[in-house]
Chain A
Amino acid sequence: MGKYAFYPGCAAKGASRELYESTIAVSNRLELDMVELPEFSCCGAGVLEEIREVLDIVVNARNLAYAEKAGRDIVTVCSTCLLVLRKAKYLLDNDDDLREEVNEILIEAGLEYRGTVDVKHFHWVLLDEFGEEGLKEKVTKPLSGLKVYPYYGCHTVRPKEIIGYEPSENPQSLEKIIKAVGATPVSGERRLECCGFHAFWPAPKISMELTGLNLKDAKREEADCIVTPCPLCHMNLDANQSRALKEIGENFKIPVLHVPQLEGLALGISEEKLGLKRNIVPFKTLGGAR
């Protein structure tokens, strides 16, 4: 079993705390060796790069350095944190001049980046540690009959040079998780489309339109719910659902679960521990599938 440093990211520590709660609950139930490092800072969500590229990389080299100190691979539950941390690592590992420059800055804080830890997404860890079959064996309450829309969004699959866990053209990790919990993945034309979250402030109309179209696709596939590995996608799909649907002239409700919430339900963890009551569109609206 790997040793992991939990990097929740700002969303899971704030507006998506149900993601934090469910991740901890699942990790405990599966007895993962995963601890949160209190030194971790916000990754900057890629926007620090817009102030200065080196600022973005230094902030994340610091995060990586603390994980190295603890001898633990970083595990995050946010797709954008995943991309930003992996990108910093990719640049540092492939550019000696940059690594030297960044280490000269880190030394001011008594830290060093050596490149000894990896950065993974929580659902990759579930699959890598237990496999689809192993996860199936852990299930106590199979979610039979539940049709789930696997919504990847962007940053757990793209760009392949930095993420590279599975083919970005046709990823299957979420489908594997959905099958492992006894549910059925529906095929989704928009499963790899963007939710528009990162353009929410400058272009709310585009952001809401994209989210609306994604929700509509899930409805068209007759999914009972959507599952996503990203709290930012979740914010748009769940918290902003009514606004997004209004933008495209639709009006319906579809629950959106975080990956650990779906996994946790199948492991028999209580709805309270999974923070289900915090989802804006209640999962309970689901008809008869549970």
Chain B
Amino acid sequence: MESRKVTFRIRRFNPKKDEKPYYKDYTIDVSKGMTILEALQYIKDNIDPTLAFRAFCRSAICGSCSVKINGYPKLACKTQVFNELDVYQTDTLTIEPIDNMEVIRDLIVDWDKAIGKMEKMRPYLIPDPQVVPDTLDEESKVYPEELKKYDSFTDCILCTTCFSVCTAVKHDENYGGPFGLARVYRFAVDPRDSLKKERSKVGYSFDMWNCVRCEKCADACPKHIAPVDGIMKLRGLSIEVGLKDNPGARHVMAFYKSLLESGMLNEVLLPLRTKGIKGVIENLPLGIKMILKGKAHSPIMKPIKEHETLLKVMKVAMEVE
């Protein structure tokens, strides 16, 4: 069987012993099909029993073995070494603990921060007594078209990979985090839930509008969930329940208005429409620079060709359930 010599450069850190983290190299023979987890286990069994990492099911379902491979977090059990060598055109892979959480030891991080955030947002079913029967004699029905709205989000295995890559988590202490906020959305559209859309207010207070839409959570999720999509939809629900007087919601409406007016975004009116006079004043220095460089268009915009077809389809799209 095809085999290659591969060096694993592993970040080691034992806070009880080490002043700071360091890297240690382990070179082993890797055969085709071997996973990162198998390589880590081989190193632990044969070279260095002090190496610490988490793993359990080896089937991408327990969510315990996420590590950074050359900077990108993946489940070690689901990732083959050869694929990574291909992607980076290398024979050396750097293995590190995932970000945004404290390291307990070597590749093991403390999940409490991520899970604690989720718990605070109460992402569990609070049954609607009008829908959910009192006894188990009757079923609580969810129809396929209802399930479709949140089906993918129920696949989450709490591996915290998305949390570890999240830009907003890194820059905003209060931010709810991708999998937590996506769970809030999941219950907000569950027909059995008693809070439903009102849950979007929880998302609001956990800074859901601070999601930068970097798509890292959607890219990294080993279960192919796009938490960011849940967050976008949760924002939509917050507008529906009346949380309209904030820059995020007004920004959305500015786009909608622009499309109705001309079909293209009116960039010149965007600061005013999103943040009012404050937005204009805040961005005045930039605005002046833009005008001087010939980068500003007229505030009155000519409609695109066939604008009426756009108006027609937008109108119908807003009417259908």
Tell me, yes or no, whether A256 is within 8 Å of chain B by CB. Answer: no
Whether B305 contacts A39 by the Cβ 8 Å rule is yes
Tell me, yes or no, whether B182 is within 8 Å of chain A by CB. Answer: no
Instruction: Pick the residue among B70, B229, B248, B305 that contacts A201 (CB under 8 A).
Output: B248
Whether A203 contacts B210 by the Cβ 8 Å rule is yes
Whether A10 contacts B304 by the Cβ 8 Å rule is no
Whether B87 contacts A59 by the Cβ 8 Å rule is no
Instruction: Pick the residue among A16, A155, A206 that contacts B171 (CB under 8 A).
Output: A206
Instruction: Pick the residue among A66, A239, A278 that contacts B286 (CB under 8 A).
Output: A239
Knowing A203-B210, A280-B289, the reply to whether A10 touches B264 (Cβ < 8 A) is yes
Tell me, yes or no, whether A49 is within 8 Å of chain B by CB. Answer: yes
Q: CA of A169 to CA of B215 in the docked complex: distance in angstroms?
A: 13
Q: CA of A121 to CA of B319 in the docked complex: distance in angstroms?
A: 33
Tell me, yes or no, whether B1 is within 8 Å of chain A by CB. Answer: no
Tell me, yes or no, whether B295 is within 8 Å of chain A by CB. Answer: yes
Whether B224 contacts A41 by the Cβ 8 Å rule is no
Which single residue of chain B is at the shortest CB-CB distance from A169? B72
Instruction: Pick the residue among A50, A66, A169, A201 that contacts B235 (CB under 8 A).
Output: A50
Min CB–CB distance B59 → chain A (angstroms): 21
Q: Which residues of B contact A (CB under 8 A)?
A: 70-72, 87-88, 167-168, 171-172, 207, 209-216, 218-219, 224, 226, 229, 232-233, 235-236, 239, 246-248, 250-252, 255-256, 258-259, 263-265, 267-268, 274-275, 279, 282, 285-286, 289-290, 293-297, 304-310, 312-314, 316-318, 320
Q: CA of A224 to CA of B216 in the docked complex: distance in angstroms?
A: 28
B contact residues around A62 at 8 Å (CB): 309-310, 313
Knowing A38-B305, A45-B255, A160-B219, the reply to whether A201 touches B247 (Cβ < 8 A) is yes
Which single residue of chain B is at the shortest CB-CB distance from A49? B232
Knowing A17-B295, A42-B263, A201-B274, the reply to whether A53 touches B233 (Cβ < 8 A) is yes
A153-184 to B contact mask, C-beta < 8 Å, 1/0: 01101111100000111100000000000000
Min CB–CB distance B197 → chain A (angstroms): 14
Whether B294 contacts A278 by the Cβ 8 Å rule is yes
Min CB–CB distance B290 → chain A (angstroms): 6
A contact residues around B88 at 8 Å (CB): 169-170
Instruction: Pick the residue among B211, B218, B263, B275 that contacts A41 (CB under 8 A).
Output: B263
26 cross-chain CB contacts under 8 A: A13-B264, A17-B295, A41-B307, A44-B255, A46-B232, A49-B229, A50-B232, A50-B239, A51-B256, A52-B236, A53-B233, A55-B317, A66-B306, A154-B213, A154-B214, A158-B215, A169-B88, A199-B210, A199-B211, A199-B212, A201-B275, A203-B172, A203-B210, A239-B290, A239-B295, A243-B286
Instruction: Pick the residue among B207, B268, B294, B304 that contacts A39 (CB under 8 A).
Output: B304
Interface centre among B211, B263, B308, B313 (most CB of A within 10 A): B313
A1-26 to B contact mask, C-beta < 8 Å, 1/0: 00000000011011111100000000
Whether A202 contacts B209 by the Cβ 8 Å rule is yes
Whether A210 contacts B304 by the Cβ 8 Å rule is no
Main secondary structure of the interface of B (DSSP, over half): helix
Instruction: Pick the residue among A13, A54, A155, A197 that contacts B215 (CB under 8 A).
Output: A155
Whether B214 contacts A47 by the Cβ 8 Å rule is no
Kindly specify which of A102-110, A127-135, A215-223, A263-271 makes contact with the partner chain. A102-110
Tell me, yes or no, whether A118 is within 8 Å of chain B by CB. Answer: no
Whether B213 contacts A46 by the Cβ 8 Å rule is yes
Instruction: Pick the residue among B232, B263, B296, B313 that contacts A58 (CB under 8 A).
Output: B313
Whether B215 contacts A202 by the Cβ 8 Å rule is no
Q: CA of A218 to CA of B69 in the docked complex: distance in angstroms?
A: 23
Tell me, yes or no, whether A111 is within 8 Å of chain B by CB. Answer: yes
Interface centre among B211, B289, B306, B318 (most CB of A within 10 A): B306
Q: CA of A207 to CA of B251 in the docked complex: distance in angstroms?
A: 15
Whether A58 contacts B251 by the Cβ 8 Å rule is no
Which single residue of chain A is at the shortest CB-CB distance from B295? A15
Min CB–CB distance B221 → chain A (angstroms): 9
Q: CA of A144 to CA of B297 in the docked complex: distance in angstroms?
A: 36
Instruction: Pick the residue among A18, A52, A202 that contacts B318 (CB under 8 A).
Output: A52
Whether B252 contacts A109 by the Cβ 8 Å rule is no
A contact residues around B258 at 8 Å (CB): 42
Knowing A51-B252, A105-B320, the reply to whether A41 touches B295 (Cβ < 8 A) is no
A contact residues around B289 at 8 Å (CB): 239, 280
Interface centre among A167, A201, A207 (most CB of B within 10 A): A201
